[in-house]
Each structure stands twice: as C-alpha cells, then as structure tokens.
Amino acid sequence: MRERHLVACIAFDGIAPFELGTVAEVFAQPRPELAVDWWYSFTLCAEKPGAHRAIGGFDIMIYTGLHAVDRAHTVVVPSVPDVRGDISPAVMHALQSAHRRGARVMSICTGAFALAAAGLLDGREATTHWRHADLLQRRYPRVRVNPSVLYVDHTDVLTSAGTTAGIDLCLHLIRHDHGADIAGRVARRMVVATHREGGQAQFIEQPVAEVPADDPIAEAMSYANEHLATRLSLEDLAKVAHLSVRQFERRFTYATGASPGRWVAQQRVRAGMRMLEKPGISIDMVAVRVGLTAAGFRHHFRALVGMSPSEYRRQLQRT
C-alpha cells in the first residue's frame, strides 16, 4: 500500500451540488470491490470552514480549511458561484502553491474561472461550460478557450465542460491512475458511459439514457447495441423502430445529436475499445465482433479515439 492519494475539493458559498457530488462519488466512495492497491482519500474544504449554502437552498457543513489543499495530490474546483466575481486571494494562492508543488489541479464547469484567476491556464488550452466560454475568454485573454470539447488534459492542469463532462474527466483521471479496466468498472458502477473522449463536441454527444425507454428510437438503439456484429443498415434500424427511413433519420438525429450511421460507427468503436482493454483478443477478431472489417475498424477507431487500436492497447499496458 503506497502513500494515500489525497484529493482536496474546494467549495464556496453558492456551490453547485451536482458537480460537487460528482467528485465525491468518484473519489470519496470506497471501492473495495475493485481490489486496487490504493484509492483516494477525499477532503472537502473551504477558505472558511462552516456552513456553506448550496444551490437548492441547503447547507453543506465544511470542517476543513484550505490547508487541506497544501497536502493534496489532486485539487478539484467543481464550480465557482459567480463567474463575474473575483476569486479570493487565499484560494488563488492555495491553487498556485499546490500547482507549484506538483499537485494536479482540475476544474469542472465554471471552476475553470478559479484556475484562470490563479494564472494556471495562461497560454494553455482550457474549457468550461459553453455558456461561459466567451466570458472566460474575455476575462482571461491569455487562456486559449476551447468551448467544443468535454475536457482538456495537460497532466498537471485539467479543465472540463459543464456538469456531466466533469464525470468524464474524473473517469479519465481514474483511467490514468488505475487503467481503463478499473475506470470502466467505476463507470459501470455509476451507470454512465464508459469512455467519452475529451475531444468530442459538447453538443453532439448525448447519453442513451436520455431517450425514454418506450421510444422507438431507443428500441432501435438497444437493438443496434445487441446486434453490433451484424449489418445494421439504416433500413434495418428504421424497420425495428417501425418508422420510415426518412422519419427515422430525422428523429434519431433529434434524439441523439448524431446521425444513425455515425452513431452506429461510434458504438462499434466503443464496443471494440472495451474488447481491446482485455488482452488476448486480436484486433482483427475485435473488428469482426463489432461488425467491421479490420480496415474499417482501424479507420473509425482512429477517427474517434485519435490513435490506432494497437496504440490504444499499448497505452493501456504502460499505466
């Protein structure tokens, strides 16, 4: 058992409970079932310990001051209450010295404003909720704001977009710390998508779960997921949904943000990715299992993941 990995999360008055909850769920929840040799130790802290009002009108009692940040290996800022307001000097200083010490500093949603105020994003690419991207850019011109990704990872500094993208970033960190297999199991425990790539457009990707279960589109989606190895033409899927091809296309795109063909290709790559995470199965075999030729699988994999299947697999070994 190596030294405990300390995660300090900084809260403010007006804290966003969802973002905070995300971080707590990922890092504070004990995971004995994972059988990893270390896990995180989570501390919620604030400049002034005591009751802090959360969005929704309830109070969160915080017992620890910013000194928790001084010992943390990872510092999280899940949101700031006012994107136009100033960050207190004490918080800025805590972030700066944590970063100087070599701690990882990450933000979710508007938390990027705190990182930017502390100067940690100067000259670097960063993201935040798309609604505040313009303001972030205007207030901190030296930050290269990219509003169309889910998260940006600079290893030492990480930023993520609105709300659920924070989950993606947390899972991304777990993937880095513990490997894709563990990250996938945590994701499955949380019942969220295993792996949404950081580079994906914020608007395009929508979880399947947002489609009501009795929706014909949802039926076509689960049919597709269960029959990835087969052909799955537009016509097939439209038939499953009991819709005309044209209407199916239209409603599918409306429901998911992606056209049927693209979505199916994505599902194929994702399924292939999960298979690649287990050693032993050849890439050609994976391709067949997800309904693509080897060349087609490589092609789509690279387009979606940004690296070849073999690179992806090699990268997992190194963790």
Give the number of other CB atoms < 10 A from CB of residue 178.
19
Write down the least CB distance from residue 288 to DNA, Å: 11
Closest CA to 114 of 128, 134, 124, 100: 128
Rule CB under 7 A: choose which of 29, 97, 230, 247 binds DNA: 247
Please tell me the distance from the alpha carbon of residue 36 to that of residue 22, in angstroms, as a whole number.
Answer: 21
Closest to DNA by CB, 185 vs 289, is 289
Q: Which of 111, 147, 260, 309 binds DNA (CB under 7 A)?
A: 260
How many beta carbons lie within 10 A of that of residue 224, not counting itself? 20
> Judged by CB, which is closer to DNA: 44, or 217?
217
According to CB under 7 A, which one of 59, 235, 284, 311 is a site residue for DNA? Answer: 235
Span 128-187, contacts to DNA by CB under 7 A: none
The smaller minimum CB distance to DNA, of residues 27 and 263, is found at 263
Q: Beta partners for 78?
A: none
State the minimum distance, in angstroms, from the CB of residue 213 to DNA. Answer: 19
Structure tokens at 137: 């850019």
Q: Taking CB under 7 A as the rule, which mask of x and - marks residues 274-303 in contact with DNA? A: ------------------xx-xx--xx--x
Structure tokens at 60: 């969160």
233 binds DNA (CB under 7 A): yes
Draw the binding track, 22-61, toward DNA (x: CB under 7 A; -: no contact): ----------------------------------------
Please state the three-class secondary structure of 76-127 as a single string: EECCCCCCCCCCCHHHHHHHHHHHHHCCEEEEEHHHHHHHHHCCCCCCCEEC
SS3 of the chain: helix, strand, coil, percent, to 5: 50, 15, 35
Binding site residues, DNA, CB under 7 A:
232-235, 243-247, 249-251, 253, 259-262, 265, 292-293, 295-296, 299-300, 303
